[in-house]
Amino acid sequence: MLTKPPTVISVASSATRSFSKTPRAHIHLLAGMGIEGDSHAGVCVKHRSRVAIDPTQPNLRQVSLLHSEVFDEVAALGFVLQPGDIGENITTEGVDLLSLPRGTCLHIGATAVVELTGLRNPCKQIDTFQKGLLKAFVGRDANGGIVLKAGVMSVVRVGGEVCVGNSIAVVLPDGECMPMERV
């Protein structure tokens, strides 16, 4: 159960296609593009496997968010992670990102708004970072269904600066709420 108010605890970006992202004092979100200067910014897909299929498809993975509460969960399994280590751009505290429906908007700081597009699908690169870590980010629910725990992906609806300590307001989509799927 989350008891802390929804807050940004870290922001990170990388201009190169490195697995981990470098923590920053702030990042600047650009509407419809992603994070200024980040290798995943753009209107069309940037993820290598998706570019290989169709480089013109929309980029639904402009900004990656990860809940910091997962750090304690994987620490119990012997893994040590810091914000930005597995490539997330924004590390949050106090908001259950994985339970939110697709289309949820997160208002971050004074102006920035990101819309959640889906679950981050952890890939084998996570095991290259720390052997066995991939298994820690993929679980099973009570019915045996796969549960992805590597965070969520989003697109930038309204640009602005995002800094450590910024508050996060969660706005659910109008109408029927659809669960997030991997993107």
Long-range (24+ apart) CB contacts under 8 A made by 18-25 are 19/86, 19/87, 19/125, 19/128, 19/129, 20/84, 20/85, 20/86, 20/87, 20/129, 21/84, 21/87, 21/88, 21/89, 22/84, 23/82, 23/83, 23/84, 25/163, 25/164
Nearest in space to 11 (alpha carbons), one of 113, 120, 91? 91
**Predicted model pTM:** 0.94
Nearest in space to 104 (alpha carbons), one of 95, 7, 27, 87? 95
Residues 25-61: pLDDT tens digits? 999 999 999 999 999 999 998 877 778 888 899 999 9
Kindly report the average pLDDT of the chain as a whole number.
Answer: 94
Structural domains of the chain sorted by starting position, each given as residue range(s) with its CATH number in brackets: 7-14+24-171 (2.40.33.20)
pLDDT at 2: 60
pLDDT at 1: 55
Confidence of residue 4 (pLDDT cuts 50, 70, 90): confident
